[in-house]
């Protein structure tokens, strides 16, 4: 099997330190955390920028600061998000101005459910086909490799649409973001993962992100199936049920140990570049 690419999703844009104090929010914290994850075996860091209050923002200067800080001290592959609920598309596009090697590209609309004390918040994350094409074109023009974020099988229709229009280059790289709590989320079961893998276009490479308690289970299944894995506090703030993770690097280190036990070597950043066809 191909070497395993471990991506660390450090911060995200939904929950923050209120969920786990170890979640890095500010640029210097994110940089230091990225370096620790690199030492633990991550090849790619998936990044969001947050303002001083910890809210996710599409701020090109913040992204540039974070990206440069990581680049100066490591050879990690940098992947900026173009997601972010409540951030207008024009702002989300600005994450590309920091010239990351990769960026996330969400392949459809979901509605996140955030359980509150006595009510449920519904947070829409809208991605229209025209917007997906806009993001894909902007990445193609800048030589940025998209990671296609697919939340359920119906979103493979958008992958096919981009391929048919020549808006993505090979190899097609899909991240299956499973177990998102909300409308459009797909439960992180074994049979659902198999079903998702069956929808992949020929020659595609896949990564799996499991939200919440599905992270560990889906990571292990993906390793055994020849896929890659994403771990990190963006997707789950826990190490075990009821036990908060000490930090992102702890989650990376566990994925690396599991891969070794399964006989799967872990890719360095340059080996990940070769697998994904990055320039």
Q: Which stretch binds Zn ion (CB under 5 A): 6-14, 15-23, 130-138, 209-217?
A: 6-14
Coil vs helix vs strand at 129 = helix
Q: Which stretch binds Zn ion (CB under 5 A): 5-13, 58-66, 199-207, 264-272?
A: 5-13
Q: Exposed (0-12), middle (13-18) or buried (19+): which is 243, by Cβ within 10 Å?
A: exposed
Task: Please identify, using beta-carbon distances, which residue of 208 and 264 lies nearer to Zn ion.
Answer: 208
Helix locations, 155-261, DSSP H? 156-164, 190-198, 214-225, 248-261
Task: Please identify, using beta-carbon distances, which residue of 175 and 222 lies nearer to Zn ion.
Answer: 175
Site string for Zn ion, 67-96 (x = CB under 5 A): --------------x---------------
As measured in angstroms, the least distance from the Cβ of 81 to Zn ion is 4
Block residue for tokens 């303002």: 51
List own/partner pairs for 135-139 with CB under 8 A and 24 or more apart: 135/82, 135/92, 135/93, 135/103, 135/105, 136/105, 136/162, 136/167, 136/168, 137/167, 138/93, 138/96, 139/96, 139/103, 139/105
Question: Which position's Cβ is nearest Zn ion?
Answer: 81
Task: Please identify, using beta-carbon distances, which residue of 125 and 186 lies nearer to Zn ion.
Answer: 125
Task: Please identify, using beta-carbon distances, which residue of 98 and 264 lies nearer to Zn ion.
Answer: 98
Task: Give the binding-site size for Zn ion (rule: CB under 5 A).
Answer: 2
Q: Which stretch binds Zn ion (CB under 5 A): 7-15, 49-57, 206-214, 266-274?
A: 7-15
Measure Cα distances from 247 to 36, 140, 191, 223 in Å. Answer: 10, 34, 30, 22
As measured in angstroms, the least distance from the Cβ of 260 to Zn ion is 27
As measured in angstroms, the least distance from the Cβ of 180 to Zn ion is 11
Position 175 contacts Zn ion (CB under 5 A): no
DSSP 119: S
As measured in angstroms, the least distance from the Cβ of 207 to Zn ion is 12
Whether 55 contacts 266, CB under 8 Å: no
Give me the residues that bind Zn ion (CB under 5 A), please.
12, 81
């Amino acid at each position: 099997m191909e070497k395993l690419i471990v991506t660390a999703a450090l911060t995200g844009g939904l929950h923050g330190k209120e969920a786990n104090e170890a979640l890095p929010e500010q640029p210097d914290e994110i940089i230091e955390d990225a370096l620790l994850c690199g030492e633990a075996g991550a090849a790619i860091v998936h990044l969001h920028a947050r303002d001083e209050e910890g809210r996710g923002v599409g701020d090109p200067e913040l992204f540039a600061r974070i990206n440069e800080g990581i680049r100066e001290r490591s050879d990690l592959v940098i992947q900026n998000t173009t997601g972010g609920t409540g951030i207008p598309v024009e702002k989300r596009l600005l994450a590309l101005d920091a010239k990351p090697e990769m960026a996330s590209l969400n392949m459809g609309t979901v509605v996140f459910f955030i359980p509150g004390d006595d009510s449920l918040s519904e947070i829409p994350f809208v991605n229209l086909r025209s917007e997906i094409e806009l993001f894909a074109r902007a990445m193609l023009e800048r030589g940025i490799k998209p990671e296609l974020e697919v939340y359920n099988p119906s979103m493979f229709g958008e992958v096919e649409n981009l391929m048919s229009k020549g808006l993505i280059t090979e190899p097609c790289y899909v991240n299956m973001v499973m177990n998102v709590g909300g409308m459009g989320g797909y439960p992180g079961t074994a049979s659902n993962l198999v079903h998702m893998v069956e929808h992949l276009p020929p020659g595609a490479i896949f990564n799996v992100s499991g939200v919440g308690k599905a992270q560990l289970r889906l990571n292990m299944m993906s390793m055994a199936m020849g896929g890659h894995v994403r771990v990190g506090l963006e997707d789950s703030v826990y190490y075990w049920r009821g036990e908060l993770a000490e930090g992102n690097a702890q989650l990376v280190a566990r994925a690396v140990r599991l891969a070794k036990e399964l006989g799967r070597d872990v890719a360095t950043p340059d080996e990940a570049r070769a697998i994904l066809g990055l320039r």
